[in-house]
Structure 1
Amino acid sequence: MSNFVQNIVVLAVCWLLVTAAGVYVTFFEQPEELDRLEKAEKVTRLKEAELTTLLAEEASAAQQAEQILRRWEARYKIIPKELEDEEVVAYLNHLSRTGFKNFDITFGGIRRTRDFSAYAYQISGRGFFDALYRVVWELENNRYFFRVRDLRLEHIDLVSRDRESQREALHVMVSFTMGVEAYFGGAEGLSAESVLAGLPEEAGHVEGGLATVLPPVPAEVLPAREPAKNPFFPAIMSTIPPNTDNLVDVEKARLVSIVAGKAIFLWEDEYHQLDIGDPVYLGKIILVDPTEDRVVARLNKGGIIDEVELELQTGERYRQALGPVNLSPAEQH
């Protein structure tokens, strides 16, 4: 065999070996390695996503913790170590001194826990809604820790009679019941006093007889002191309020004259001089027209707005109402 043939055989054998090795690597080893690498890549991506989620959760938890800590450090409620029942009752009486027909306080006992103690009271009564709103506002926003529970309201109309004038007055009020808890004996660090223990004494003030050593809370961070609307005052009343101030009732009074732009009424045997804007029973005067001899009053009849026009029964209008009486010279004979 010549060298040429031997070389060809050697080259063929080498080519077969290389081809076989390539086929083995391509179809047997590489798929397994590729599958292993793909799985490793998925695991890496999952771990990266999990790490990203954990970092986001950590940031969110840190933000919530910071907010909670700020709120805790900014707390303004005081839970005193000691608080007498007489002090609480005196404070409730102080709040209810005006605007109530009755304000009855019943002591319900003391509730004691590991972290605090609380006096319980049951309160019932009748009063104006604005006055009750003021009491609840003070209890909820006072430095001392009070809590209002189970507040229930019912609308009532009370009619009172003045002893001297014997006139009746209608009062739109509410009857109410509620529970009030006054907390004391708080655990260490629970009260705002522990945060501002180093506050100078001159910063102290008194809230309804309960003294504190803390500055007042800024009004802008508290709810409105006055209710935006009285939900118990009806838009249209079934009963028109009585004339307690004895104002001129233009629907019953008699318009007798208009002098210098003012209307003269005869009401209950007395003369009353009224100008534009002056109050009358259920409303006010909105127009005094001396040229047309008329007066207009706008009245609120229990939520129904009405305008009453009165005409002076003299002059041209009066003569027109009676009819023309023009006699000719021939008819006068």
Structure 2
Amino acid sequence: MSNLGYNIIILATCWLLVTGAGVYVTYFEQPKEVERLEKAEKLARLRQAEVTALLAEESSSAQMAKEIITKWRARYKIIPDALKTPDIVGYLNRLTAVGFKNFDVKFAGNQRGQDFGTYTFKASGRGYYTSLYKFIWEVENNRNFYRVRNLALDQIDLVSENKDTGKNELEVLVSFKMDIDAYYGGVTGLSAGDEGIKGLFESDGLPITQADGAERPPVPSYVLPEMKPITNPFYPLILNAIPPNTYDLLEVENAVLVSIVGDDKAVFVEGGEYVTLGRGDPVYLGQITLIDPTEGRVLARLNRGGIIDEVELLLQTGERYRQAAGDVRLSPIESQ
């Protein structure tokens, strides 16, 4: 065999070996390596995502911790080491000295927990809604640590004698029942001190103390609820009964218009007494809204317990007078 033949055989053998090795690597070794690399890449991405989530969680936790620390430093409630029931009753009596018909307090128990103790009182009574709102605001927001629970309200209409006039007057009140908790004996650090709140807020804090000795929260007023109610939900739009005439005002429905003086004064007689009123002056349940000397009439707008009404009184001229047309004033008719 010639050298050419040997060379062809050698080259063919080398080609077969190289091709076989390439096929083996391509179809058997490389898929395993690709799979290993894909798994490694997936694991790296998962770790990167985990690191990103941990960084985000760390940032969120740091912000939350900052807020919690700020709130903790901003606490202003005072929990005394010891508290006696006469002190609690005296404090409640000071807050309810005005605006209540009665405020009854009954001791309901004393419970000692792991971190603090609690006195519980049951309170009931009757009073004005605005006064009750102020009382609850004081109890819930003053520095003394009290809490109101199980509050139940009901609207009542009470007719009583006015001390100034001796006449009956209608009062719209609320009857209430509630539980009041007073806390004491807190663990170390639970009660707030003045040092922890200095420098945390702007100078918009409410005054620390009032005439009644109750300490106001030294925090900005905008973080607290309104000190006065925006509206009275217990004052009905239409009353069950018309309020009595407490201040002896003119009852236009029982009065007689006898004269109009000038353009803005009218003279009435009621029960034998003469009363002179002008436009805008108050009458029972309302006020004078119009005095018309030309037509000889007076209008009064009345609020009958929520129902608005208008009453017209005409000048009583008698048969000897008549109203002429045009600008002519009232004139007597000559008797025949």
Fold in common (TM above 0.5): yes
Q: CA deviation at 1:196?
A: 4.1
8 Å CA contact retained: 2:75, 2:197: no
1:13-53 alpha-carbon deviations (Å, 9 max, x no partner):
11111111111111111111111211222222222222222
**TM-aligned CA deviation for residue 85 of structure 1:** 2.1
1:109 Cα deviation after fit? 3.0
Q: Is the 8 A contact 1:117 1:186 kept in 2?
A: yes
Contact conserved, 2:302 with 2:309, CA < 8 A, in 1? yes
1:246 corresponds in structure 2 to 248
Deviation at 1:71, TM superposition (A): 0.6
2:280 to 257, 277, 298: 277
Q: TM-score, normalized by length of structure 1?
A: 0.86
Q: What's the CA shift string for 1:218-238, capped at 9, x where partnerless?
A: 433321111111111111112
CA contact (8 A) 2:126 2:176 kept: yes
Q: Distance in 2 between matches of 1:104 and 1:142?
A: 21
What is the letter of the counterpart of residue 142 of structure 2? N
Structure 2 residue aligned with 1:36: 36
Partner of 1:21: 21
Evaluate the alpha carbon distance shift between residue 228 and residue 38 of structure 1 in structure 2; reply closer, same or farther with a 3 A threshold. same
Following the alignment from structure 2 to structure 1, what is the Cα–Cα distance between the partners of residues 48 and 162? Answer: 83
2:88 and 2:46 mapped to 1: Cα distance? 61
* Match in the other structure for 2:203: none
- Which secondary structure state, in structure 2, belongs to the residue aligned with residue 29 of structure 1? helix
Q: Are 2:315 and 1:312 equivalent residues in the alignment?
A: yes
Aligned-partner SS, 2:151: strand
Q: Find the aligned partners of 1:165 and 1:2 in 2 and give their Cα distance.
A: 148
Given candidates 215, 225, 237, the residue that maps to 2:227 is 225
CA distance in 1, matches of 2:212, 2:51: 57
- Structure 2: runs of 5 or more not aligned: 200-206, 325-334
Unaligned runs of 5+ in 1: 322-331
The number of residue pairs the alignment matches comes to 317
Q: Which residue of 1 aligns with 2:154?
A: 154
Shift, 1:211, TM fit: 6.7
- What is the aligned partner in structure 1 of residue 80 from structure 2? 80
Residues 189, 195 of structure 1: 8 Å contact kept: no
Aligned AA for 1:278?
D
Asked if the contact 1:94–1:208 (Cα under 8 Å) also holds between the matched residues in 2, the reply is: no
Q: Name 2:2's counterpart in structure 1.
A: 2
Q: Quote the offset at 1:9 in angstroms.
A: 1.9
The answer on whether the counterparts of 2:285 and 2:304 sit within 8 Å (CA) in structure 1 is yes
Q: Please give the secondary structure, in 1, of the residue aligned with 2:303.
A: strand
The residue number in structure 2 matching 1:127 is: 127
Q: Quote how far apart the aligned CAs of 1:207 are.
A: 4.7
In structure 2, C-alpha distance between the alignment counterparts of 1:91 and 1:289, rounded to whole Å: 58
CA distance in 1, matches of 2:221, 2:29: 77
Task: Please show how residues 85-124 of structure 1 align to structure 2 within 5 Å.
Answer: 85-124=85-124
- 1:188-207 matches, within 5 Å, as 188-193=188-193, 195-196=195-196, 206-207=209-210
Structure 1, 217-226 or 117-126: larger mean CA deviation: 217-226
In the alignment, is the contact (CA less than 8 A) between 1:125 and 1:175 conserved in 2?
Answer: yes
Question: Compared with structure 1, are the counterparts of its residues 197 and 100 closer, same or farther at alpha carbon in structure 2 (3 Å cutoff)?
Answer: closer
Give the aligned residue type for 2:269: L
After superposition, the C-alpha distances for 1:177-199 in whole angstroms (9 at most, x for unaligned) are: 11111111111111112744999
Fraction of identical pairs, as percent = 57
In structure 2, relative to structure 1, the CA distance for the partners of 1:184 and 1:108 (3 Å cut) is same
Shift of 1:80: 1.4
Aligned match of 1:265: 268
The AA in structure 2 aligned to 1:310 is L
Q: Residues 283 and 297 of structure 1 are in contact (CA less than 8 Å); yes or no, is this contact kept in structure 2?
A: yes
Bigger shift: residues 122-131 or 285-294? 285-294
Q: Partners in 2 of 1:84 and 1:273 — Cα distance? A: 61
CA 1:50 to 1:155, structure 2 compared with 1: closer, same or farther past 3 Å? same
1:140-162: CA deviations, max 9, x gaps? 01111011111111111111134
Distance 2:219 2:9 in 1: 102
Cα deviation, 1:198-254, whole Å, max 9, x if unaligned, reads: 99xxxx954565576x98444333211111111111111121111111111122211
CA contact (8 A) 1:150 1:178 kept: yes
The DSSP-based 3-state class of the residue aligned with 2:60 is helix
CA contact (8 A) 2:73 2:196 kept: no
Across the aligned residues of Structure 1 and Structure 2, the Cα RMSD in angstroms comes to 2.8
Quote the residue 1:328 is aligned against: none
AA in 2 matched with 1:109: G
| Contact 2:79–2:185 under 8 Å retained in 1 | yes
Q: Distance in 1 between matches of 2:66 and 2:197?
A: 22
CA distance in 1, matches of 2:214, 2:98: 22
